[in-house]
Amino acid sequence: MTESFGARLRHSMDERGPLCVGIDPHASLLAEWGLNDDVAGLERFSRTVVEAMADRVAVLKPQSAFFERFGSRGVAVLERSVMEARAAGALVVMDAKRGDIGSTMAAYAESFLHKDSPLFSDALTVSPYLGYGSLSPAVALARESGSGLFVLALTSNPEGGEVQHAIRADGRNVGATMLAHLAAENEGDEPLGSFGAVVGATLGDLSTYDLSINGPLLAPGIGAQGATPADLPRVFGAAVRNVVPNVSRGVLRHGPDVVALREAASRFADEITGAVSGG
């Protein structure tokens, strides 16, 4: 049987440290690297990040939109980046935040979670705001392929609160409801469930939420958005060992020098490991 994403992630974080580095080739970062905002610049950027990181960090998270904006040639770069990163041992979380219903959701899932897809990734970010049940095709395919999902639950952007903090008829807010669904998906899975939540590291005290979903918590916000590794135990409490902190600009701004990128990632990984161990 295919080893589950949760099991692979637990092993990778224990071996390499709990760090996820984003691959976010937006125009301003390409310019900082001295690259043109074109397909050649995109490819140079992505290859450099994969070369620097894929053999040492637990997770790489390409943001699909920054590749899609270049059309089919950009998607081809994304395909190669995913393949090369996974071949070097990194787990790839595709940050595409897909969400739809029925056959359309199934098609999105097949794009990233079917083993025959050129964009096959270890996990995919998804949006549940057409109802958690709308994710059923992605959940089913992830189980079949040994992949995982990260469901938007408590995001760090200020606009998210108008949906995620809305109170349902049962008195529970929407974000807490998503966490409860994920806990049910992961029940009994060892050593870690494959269905995670996106929970911002910038949100402060989350003690009113039950984060014990037996699955990973993808935590954006470390570095440029203001959160630090030292914040993780305070924000995530007893669930901190299952947190996958995401750092993008805090590492990527040290490029295009491969050694500098590796050193920056190593510093973050060491700080995060120390904070999690202390928590």
Gap between the Cα atoms of 244 and 17, Å rounded: 9
267: amino acid identity, one letter: R
Dihedral over Cα of 207, 213, 216, 220: its sign: negative
Residue of 26, 86, 97, 249 marked catalytic = 97
Catalytic (active site) residue 97:
yes
Gap between the Cα atoms of 78 and 25, Å rounded: 11
186: amino acid identity, one letter: N
7-43 as b/e: b if 16+ CB within 10 A? bbbbebbeebbbbbbbbbbbeebbeebebebebebbb
The rounded radius of gyration (Å) of the Cα atoms in the chain is 18
Gap between the Cα atoms of 114 and 107, Å rounded: 10
235: amino acid identity, one letter: V
**Among the residues of the chain, which ranges form H helices?**
5-16, 27-32, 39-53, 64-68, 71-87, 102-113, 136-145, 161-164, 174-186, 232-236, 249-252, 258-278
Where in the sequence numbering do the catalytic residues fall? 97
